[in-house]
Amino acid sequence: MNPDDLVVTRWGARLAGRRLPCAIGKGGLSAAKREGDGATPRGTHRIVGLLYRPDRMIRPAAWAVPIRPGDLWSDDLHDAAYNTLVRAPYAASHECLRRTDPLYDAVLLTDWNWPEATPGHGSAIFLHQWRKPRHPTEGCVAFARDDLRWLLPRLRPNSRVIVKGV
């Protein structure tokens, strides 16, 4: 590990010597992640993208991509586009990325089960804003708004997110 790694545990996260409270999946940390288990997968993951709401914030980094109306994420393990960004209208099971709440105003995408998704191994592990302090997620890692905004310029493509089981 190095100081540029975001290290996540069930107790919180740290980057560049700073400790940040965070929320993990309601299913805890798992070495055997499955779709719908609510767990955050252990291991070393890479940042592969950054999405943001341009109607709610300025572009947080040059490589950030705006979330447009109709942007969705396929979470249907039988769908050919499983674990990828898709557009509405979309018949298969999906999650809306342009939410009415602020949880996805900025979303860091990890390479969990991507780009070659294995059906059933879990879709989309994001880093995003939490609903309320330490409120469990469906498997993502969530932070307070100010802490997420602090992370955005410090994480870039290929930054490591190390999820430890301790």
Q: What is the mean pLDDT of the chain?
A: 96
Identify the pLDDT of residue 1.
Answer: 76
Structure tokens at 28: 């805890």
pLDDT value at 76 more than 70: yes
Per this entry, what is the length of the chain?
Answer: 166
pLDDT score of 148: 98
- Residue 26 identity: K
What pLDDT is recorded for position 165? Answer: 84
| pLDDT of res. 166 | 65
- Residue ranges per structural domain of the chain: 6-64+106-163
User: What percent of the chain stands above pLDDT 70?
Assistant: 99
Rounded CA-CA distance 113/130 in Å is 22
Give the architecture-level CATH label for domain 6-64+106-163. Answer: Beta Barrel (2.40)
- Phi and psi based region of residue 77 (left: phi greater than 0; alpha: psi -120 to 50; beta: remaining): alpha
pLDDT digits (tens, 9 = 90+) for 30-49: 999 999 999 999 999 999 99
115: left (phi over 0), alpha (psi -120 to 50) or beta: alpha
Quick one: which of 109, 147, 112 has its CA closest to 23? 147
Question: What letter would DSSP give residue 44?
Answer: E
Could you tell me the pTM of the whole model?
0.96
